[in-house]
């Protein structure tokens, strides 16, 4: 039987973050906006949004606050 997250989505199969996902997540922890993260990483705001969407999919969450909670539990060693 397939595992399901609290949001009702299938549980993510990959637990490892990419380098960019780790960078974005670190800046989310610092409370930066997408625009501020884009400036720090010297990428477009759309690129930051895409990374956040990948993080949401990977963790099975829908909001930044849920992402922070899950990341602290499961991905702390990767950021």
Q: Which CATH number fits the domain that encloses residue 48?
A: 1.10.10.10
How confident is the model at residue 79, as a pLDDT? 66
The answer as to whether 9 is a domain residue is no
How confident is the model at residue 8, as a pLDDT? 52
10-residue block means of pLDDT along the chain (79 residues)? 45 70 93 97 97 94 93 76
Contact 58, 14 (CB under 8 A): yes
The whole domain housing 32 covers 19-78
How confident is the model at residue 2, as a pLDDT? 38
Count of structural domains within the chain: 1
Phi, psi dihedral angles at 27 (to 5 degrees):
-70, -30
The answer as to whether 11 is a domain residue is no
The answer as to whether 6 is a domain residue is no
The answer as to whether 34 is a domain residue is yes
């Amino acid at each position: 039987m397939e595992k399901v997250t609290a949001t009702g989505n299938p549980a993510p199969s990959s637990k490892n973050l990419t380098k960019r996902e780790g960078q974005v997540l670190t800046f989310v922890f610092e409370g930066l906006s997408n625009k501020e993260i884009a400036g720090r990483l010297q990428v477009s705001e759309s690129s930051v949004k895409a990374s956040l969407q990948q993080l949401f999919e990977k963790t099975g969450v829908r909001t930044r606050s849920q992402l922070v909670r899950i990341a602290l539990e499961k991905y702390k060693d990767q950021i």
